[in-house]
Amino acid sequence: MTAESTPQVDLFLLAGLFPGAGHAGTLRAAADYAVAAERAGFGGVWLAEHHFGEYGVCPSAVTLAAHLLGRTARLRVGTAAAILPNRHPVALAEEAALLDAVSGGRFDLGVARGGPWVDLEVFGTGPRRYDHAGFAAALDLLLAAVSGAAVLSGDGDGDGFRFRDVAMVPRPARPLPVWVAATGTPTVELAAARNLPLLLGMHDDDAAKAAMLRHHAASGGTTAGHVSAHLAFVADSVAEAESALRRAMPGWLRAAQATVRIDGSPPPRRDPAAYLDHLLATHPVGPPQRCARRLRATLAATGVRRLLLMVEGGGDPRRTLANINRLGREVLPALRAP
């Protein structure tokens, strides 16, 4: 297997709150998982960002990324994803440039549109920043700010970003790469128009992900840097793995439905048990050989070369650390072998 075809395998950390854990303990555990990932041979970790709910207790993926970059030596750390409508894009670009500089280029910036959530009300950015045009304008300003240009300005042409010329400090030494989390066609097309790679979530199976990537290419995208996220849990048998996940995950998945929306629409009422059944049927769960086989199937079906493994599904820090170590010891070598 050539260096170009060898997949990069990273962790995907949501810092989800499971029964019996507190907020601070959950965040400290997430940091420990990243350190364990570096020791286990993973290439990087990507951090989710959520507000005002316990599905994920990390409100700033960039801040946690800074901490993890300081605790590790070679690990890449990315955001999957920073919610762009909640932030001023120039402020986010400054932080990305700072982390890129002090880490020696180990920071990866992924952004998401998010949803019509109460975040927009609390942070004062408003629904306009969430709609398609508002997200596109914010994304374009972010890209300009991380392009390496010395000077940045906002013309305010319908997007609300009006400001005089300013110097970009710190100025990136090169254009910083940006990934876009996509769950629907409009965002796929938006990313393709700017030739940005996609962050593909756990909810879609390989066929759905392959269809999104085909649409990205048909819409003009030529980048090959897409990333695919997967639930991953290693055990000696399928039954043992599924039993552990069925005990821990439904209650945690139910927390995702508590998100407060400001557009008057009810949140989607996905049955946690049925959704978990879907995940178990499509993701690398069970003995190491089965996990490796399912991940190789994803690589073949989608063409992606970067995988994110969500490892916290067992709900207990000791179980998660054991999962990370087994994935590193028993699954990564199988993926990297010819």
Cβ count near 173 (within 10 Å): 11
Please check the confidence at residue 338 and state whether its pLDDT lies above 90.
no
Strand ranges (E), 150-218: 151-155, 162-167, 178-181, 198-200
Q: Is 1 inside any structural domain?
A: no
**How many structural domains comprise the chain?**
1
d(CA 309, CA 328): 11
Q: Is 61 inside any structural domain?
A: yes
Write out pLDDT tens, residues 32-71: 999 999 999 999 999 999 999 999 999 999 999 999 999 9
SS3 of 50, please? coil
Q: Is 242 inside any structural domain?
A: yes
227 φ/ψ angles, rounded to the nearest 5 degrees: -130, 140
Please check the confidence at residue 2 and state whether its pLDDT lies above 70.
no
The domain in which residue 140 lies consists of: 8-336
Find the mean pLDDT for residues 5-16: 94
Q: Which of 338, 234, 249, 232 is nearest to 295 (CA)?
A: 232
Q: Is 2 inside any structural domain?
A: no
Q: Is 225 inside any structural domain?
A: yes
Find the mean pLDDT for residues 139-151: 97
pLDDT of residue 4: 52
Q: Is 104 inside any structural domain?
A: yes
Q: Is 264 inside any structural domain?
A: yes
Rounded alpha-carbon distances, angstroms, from residue 74 to 102, 104, 251, 258, 307: 13, 9, 35, 37, 18
Rounded alpha-carbon distances, angstroms, from residue 313 to 98, 251, 285: 32, 11, 10
Write out pLDDT tens, residues 325-337: 999 999 999 998 8
Residues of the chain with pLDDT > 90: what percent? 90
Provide long-range contacts, Cβ within 8 A and 24+ apart, for 100-107. 100/172, 100/176, 101/170, 101/172, 101/173, 102/69, 103/69, 103/77, 106/44, 106/69, 106/74, 106/75, 106/76, 106/77, 107/65, 107/69, 107/76, 107/77, 107/78
Which letter does DSSP use for residue 110 in this model? E
pLDDT of residue 1: 44
Write out pLDDT tens, residues 167-219: 999 999 999 999 999 999 999 999 999 999 999 999 999 999 999 999 999 99
Q: Is 3 inside any structural domain?
A: no
Find the mean pLDDT for residues 146-164: 87
Find the mean pLDDT for residues 83-102: 97
Contact 110, 82 (CB under 8 A): yes
- Give the CATH number, domain containing residue 225: 3.20.20.30
* More confident of the two residues 210 and 2: 210
Please check the confidence at residue 3 and state whether its pLDDT lies above 50.
no
